[in-house]
Amino acid sequence: MDFTGDLHGRLVLPHDPDWHTARMAWQLAVDQRPAAVVHAATAQDVCATVLAAQQLGLRVAPQGTGHNAAPLGSLHRTILLRTDRLGEVSIDPLTRIARVGAGVRWAQVTDEASKYGLMALAGSAADVGVVGYTLGGGVSWFARSHGLASNQVVAADVVLADGTLVRVDADNHPELFWALRGGGGVAGIVTALEFRLFPKTEVQAGMLAWPLEQAATVLTAWRRWVDDVPDAVTSLGRMLRLPPLPDLPEPLRGRSLVAIEAVCDLPAPQADALLAPLRDLGPFLDTFAPTAVSDLHLLHMDPPYPVPAAGDGLLLSGLPSGALAAFLGMTGAGRDLPLLSVELRHLGGALRPGAVPGGAVDGLDAEFAMFGVGITPDATSVAAVHEVLDELREAMGPWEAATGYRNFAERSRGRFDPAEVTERLRAVKRAYDPHDLIHANHPVAPER
Ligand X SMILES: Cc1cc2nc3c(=O)[nH]c(=O)nc-3n(C[C@H](O)[C@H](O)[C@H](O)COP(=O)(O)OP(=O)(O)OC[C@H]3O[C@@H](n4cnc5c(N)ncnc54)[C@H](O)[C@@H]3O)c2cc1C
Positions touching ligand X (CB under 6 A) are 62-69, 72, 83, 102, 123-125, 128-129, 131-133, 135-139, 184-185, 189-190, 302, 407, 440-441
CB of 445 to ligand X, least distance (A): 14
Nearest CB to ligand X, comparing residues 72 and 275: 72
CB of 343 to ligand X, least distance (A): 10
Nearest CB to ligand X, comparing residues 208 and 440: 440
CB of 71 to ligand X, least distance (A): 8
CB of 335 to ligand X, least distance (A): 23
Nearest CB to ligand X, comparing residues 190 and 233: 190
CB of 439 to ligand X, least distance (A): 8
Q: How far apart are CA 360 and CA 138, in angstroms?
A: 13
Nearest CB to ligand X, comparing residues 185 and 372: 185
Nearest CB to ligand X, comparing residues 139 and 328: 139
Nearest CB to ligand X, comparing residues 9 and 136: 136
CB of 330 to ligand X, least distance (A): 22
CB of 14 to ligand X, least distance (A): 21
CB of 67 to ligand X, least distance (A): 4
Nearest CB to ligand X, comparing residues 121 and 212: 121
CB of 134 to ligand X, least distance (A): 8
Residue count of the chain: 448
Q: How far apart are CA 370 and CA 345, in angstroms?
A: 6
Nearest CB to ligand X, comparing residues 214 and 346: 346
Q: How far apart are CA 330 and CA 385, in angstroms?
A: 13
Nearest CB to ligand X, comparing residues 49 and 83: 83
3-state secondary structure string across the chain: CCCHHHCCCEEECCCCCCHHHHCCCCECCCCCCCCEEEECCCHHHHHHHHHHHHHHCCEEEEECCCCCCHHHCCCCCEEEEECCCCCCEEEECCCCEEEEECCCEHHHHHHHHHCCCEECCCCCCCCCEHHHHHHCCCCCCCHHHHCCHHHHEEEEEEECCCCCEEEEECCCCHHHHHHHCCCCCCCCEEEEEEEECEECCEEEEEEEEEEHHHHHHHHHHHHHHHCCCCCCEEEEEEEEECCCCCCCCCCCCCCEEEEEEEEECCCHHHHHHHHHHHHCCCCCEECCEEEEHHHHHHCCCCCCCCECEEEEEEEECCCCHHHHHHHHHHHCCCCCCCCCEEEEEECCHHHCCCCCCCCCCCCCCCCEEEEEEEECCCHHHHHHHHHHHHHHHHHHHHHECCCCCHHHCCCCCCCCCCHHHHHHHHHHHHHHCCCCCECCCCCCCCCC
Nearest CB to ligand X, comparing residues 81 and 197: 81
The letter for the amino acid at 390 is D
CB of 387 to ligand X, least distance (A): 20
